[in-house]
Structure 1
Amino acid sequence: HRCYDEQDLGWIRWLKMLRNSGMSIEMIREFVQLSQQGNDSIEARCQILDAHRQKIRATISELEGYLHLLDQKLLFYRGLEDG
């Protein structure tokens, strides 16, 4: 059995969030490698996170568009039900 401390668990949660939010395993590996380099890699890590943030924002925007179309279709169908 391996024992994890709070710092390990924090890293695991952080990496899981990155993966669940769509970051590729390759980019996660790069981020981890940069993190192991210490403060000299902060700018590179920020660039990775900024790029990922932009991708998430684009996905949210696209999904909001889909949600709007679904809402419009539901209004249409409910109008037909009401006669």
Structure 2
Amino acid sequence: MHYSIGEVSDITGIAASTLRYYDREGMFPAMERSSGGIRVFSETELATLKVIACLKSSGMPIKDIKEFLDWCQEGDPSIGKRREMFHRRLTEVESQIAELERTRNMLRYKCWYYDTASEAGTEDAVRDLPDDAIPEDLRDYRI
């Protein structure tokens, strides 16, 4: 199946200007063009966009994503580099998730704290509670 840039933009939610930028940067080396020079996206480019979106979401800079896509063009000789890159990304994302879990738990504690204070009408009811009066899963986040 083939898609216009507008269709790809609608499907992916990526702005047409961004798709043009990716093309100019060489991220779609096999992309065809119509006789009038219009970009014609295929399933290959859509699959590439999924990988780009994943890597961007993981915090990888575009220049590094471009390098990865260049490695893909090299074929089998770059398998080791690509494998290592994905392992590094996974480690980085797992670290980000752990940090977000800590943040979420602190927010959960603060929600509990202010919910309890609000119900009592005063922070004094919560401020000096003994640890065993705080929900067990939130105790580590008491300040």
Scaled by the length of structure 2, what TM-score is found?
0.55
Q: How does 1:1-83 map to 2 (within 5 A)?
A: 1-83=38-120
Structure of greater relative contact order (alpha carbons < 8 Å, 6+ residues apart): 1
**Deviation sequence 1:48-67 (CA, Å, 0-9, x none):** 11101111100000010000
Residue 11 of structure 1, CA deviation: 0.6
- Which segment is superposed worse, 61-70 or 24-33? 24-33
Q: Identity rate of aligned residues, in percent?
A: 28
Letter in 2 for 1:29: K
**Deviation sequence 1:4-24 (CA, Å, 0-9, x none):** 111111112211221122111
More helix by share: 1
Q: Please state whether the residue corresponding to 1:36 is helix, strand or coil.
A: helix
User: Structure 1 CA distance, aligned partners of 2:62 and 2:43?
Assistant: 23
Runs (4+) of structure 1 exceeding 4 A deviation are none
User: Structure 2 CA distance, aligned partners of 1:57 and 1:20?
Assistant: 13
User: Structure 1 CA distance, aligned partners of 2:58 and 2:89?
Assistant: 9
Structure 2 spans left out of the alignment, 5+ residues? 1-37, 121-143
Scaled by the length of structure 1, what TM-score is found?
0.92
How many residues matched? 83
Residue 34 of structure 1, CA deviation: 0.9
Structure 1 spans left out of the alignment, 5+ residues? none
